[in-house]
Structure 1
Amino acid sequence: MNREELIRKWLDHNLNSEEQKAFEQLEDYKDLVQLDGALQSFKSPEFSVDKNYEILNEKLKTKRSSQSWYKPILKIAAILALCFSVYYYTTTLDTTFRTEIATKTTLELPDASEVILNAKSTLVFNKSHWENKREVKLNGEAFFKVAKGEKFDVVTNDGVISVLGTQFNVKQRDNYFEVKCYEGLVGVKTEDHFTELKPGKVFKIIDGKFFADEKEITAQPNWLRGESTFKNTPLKYVIAELENYYNISIKVNHKDATRLYTGGFNHKNLDLALQSITIPLNLSYSKSGTSIVLKRE
């Protein structure tokens, strides 16, 4: 392992015992430790440290042979640049929350906003930038209770939801995008649409088709109470949602996958959930381990 890799792993507290010994053998080991201690309370300005480090490194290469008296200064400057770079990188890291099958979690954002993250979902935000930009990135489904303040954005692959302080639910999965407003006012922006949702209003795009004027009559999403509900939804998306709550794989033929389903299923009993889906569509199911096949009766 070269010198730079050792330093990077040391700053990241990721050296094993052999690497630690190798690091301690570096000729400037004591200087590095001393510099790291001095930088603990340092906050770097927002400039491209990596770019400056590259320029500095090039100067080091060109002047090394003819101006040897620069060596100690350039060496220290290079170490400082590397330390600044690592500090800047570690202080701008994103915070990521993930949920697995059949799990959900409640988390609090830096402004005390609350997010309940549904199964098989990911939420990402940056603490260090939060005061200037309240923004989260969502892949999956989450219910938000946003504290009042500056604009709050939920960024998804299908659109951006913007609010000031409100309660709403966002669901973004493959070719399925849905926003439901429960309190306040929610702005939804996609490539082709901009809509403001008042309480009870729903914005939905499925397979590229926009659904308008749908209404939500509950006070909170049904999945918070252990039940998923659907209205005129292609069966393939109902099945995909079912797989998020049970460790199963479901197969259905293409024609049946596009049939529209209205109803719901619970998250506690697999057989009851399957019956809730198959009976209204005149389908049956067979199980083999964690594999399930849906077919017409």
Structure 2
Amino acid sequence: MNRDELIQKWLRDDLNPQEMEAFKALDDYDALIKLSESLKHFKAPAFDESVAFETISAEISKKPKSKTKWLKPILRIAALLAISFSVYYYTSTLDTSISTLTADKTTFYLPDHSQVTLNALSKITYNKKNWKNQRELTLHGEAFFKVEKGSKFNVQTSFGTITVLGTQFLVENRNDIFEVVCYEGSVQVTTEDKNLVLKPGDQFLILDGEFIAQEKENSANPAWLHNESQFKSMPYKFVLNEWERHYKQKLDAKTINTSVLFTGKFVHDDLDLALKAITLPLNIKYTKKENGLIVLHEK
């Protein structure tokens, strides 16, 4: 193996014992090690490639002039190290974001093979490169998780933190609503004033800042996975918000009481049927405007 190949494998930390001995026998071994040690002193957030290059160049220039025959190759290696370090830092701190639009759902897998399904108008952000060291993601919206056995991570929301270990659960984190439902295993929910462990069927719900006690959940997973939205004694305004997330039209509910409780469901693939499902039970009429707006009003 020639000199350049040895150096490249050294940069990748990929030398076997025999290759390491050959690498140590290189004439510029000491200088290469010194370069590596110099780079370790740089702080990643303030890393500057030009500073690294200048610093290493200054160190090498202190050597006797008789050594200058290998100065240029070493400087090239120094530049490569600086650039490689910069690229590594950038990619290791870059977050991965996955989001959905109105009337959209998506399923993907986390680095530990846990499955996540995002409901409409939702977003998850996590660091893919650093997942082994920091198993944490941030959720805005609603998602259903199927966590691999033995895989523990945290879901951060604006309301609190959900800690999970080998379980299936739902989290909804939107304006004025925070909901966690455990379908399998256990889930720990931590907010400013509560710390609860949910078992299968347990629900945790906060509406408009108020904790709401809920009955046991008997279904195996959320209804929206099957293109339906289901509600039990839910304030009507949340039903209307959910309807808008699944249909690309707006509802005008200024003249009706949106605090009344609604129990029922609507489908995600038939606008007219879904509209009737959320209005007929409450004796509400609606008018479709030419601009696409749907105005709700009392009968």
TM-score of the superposed pair, with normalisation by structure 2 = 0.75
Q: 1:227, CA displacement in angstroms?
A: 0.7
Q: 1:41, CA displacement in angstroms?
A: 5.8
Unaligned runs of 5+ in 2: 14-38, 59-71
Change (3 A) 1:79 1:240: same
Match for residue 190 of structure 1?
191
Higher mean C-alpha displacement, 148-157 vs 94-103? 148-157
Q: Distance in 2 between matches of 1:120 and 1:285?
A: 25
Task: Decide which structure has the larger Cα Rg and report it.
Answer: 2
Q: 1:224, CA displacement in angstroms?
A: 0.8
CA deviation map 1:34-85 (0-9, x unaligned) = 9xx969965897962343539949x98xx9xxxxxxxx99999788546523
Q: Distance in 2 between matches of 1:267 and 1:290?
A: 18
Q: 1:212, CA displacement in angstroms?
A: 2.0
Match for residue 67 of structure 1?
none
Higher mean C-alpha displacement, 216-225 vs 74-83? 74-83
SS in structure 2 of the partner of residue 204 of structure 1: strand
Counterpart pick for 2:43 among 41, 48, 52: 48
Q: Distance in 2 between matches of 1:39 and 1:94?
A: 28
Identity of aligned residues (%): 49
Instruction: Report the number of matched residues.
Output: 255
Match for residue 216 of structure 1?
217
SS in structure 2 of the partner of residue 280 of structure 1: helix
Q: Distance in 2 between matches of 1:95 and 1:216?
A: 32
Match for residue 141 of structure 1?
142
Match for residue 295 of structure 1?
297
Match for residue 245 of structure 2?
244
* 1:267-282 aligned within 5 A: 267-282=268-283
Quote the RMSD (CA, aligned, Å): 3.2
Q: Distance in 2 between matches of 1:287 and 1:100?
A: 23
Unaligned runs of 5+ in 1: 1-33, 64-71
* Paired letter, 2:119: N
Q: Distance in 2 between matches of 1:130 and 1:95?
A: 11
TM-score of the superposed pair, with normalisation by structure 1 = 0.75
Instruction: Give 4+ residue runs of structure 1 displaced > 3 Å after superposition.
Output: 37-47, 52-57, 72-83
SS in structure 2 of the partner of residue 138 of structure 1: strand
Q: 1:149, CA displacement in angstroms?
A: 2.0
Give yes or no for contact 1:101–1:245 (8 Å, CA) kept in 2.
Answer: yes
Change (3 A) 1:106 1:40: farther
* Paired letter, 2:48: Y
Q: Distance in 1 between matches of 2:255 and 2:171?
A: 27
Give yes or no for contact 2:167–2:184 (8 Å, CA) kept in 1.
Answer: yes
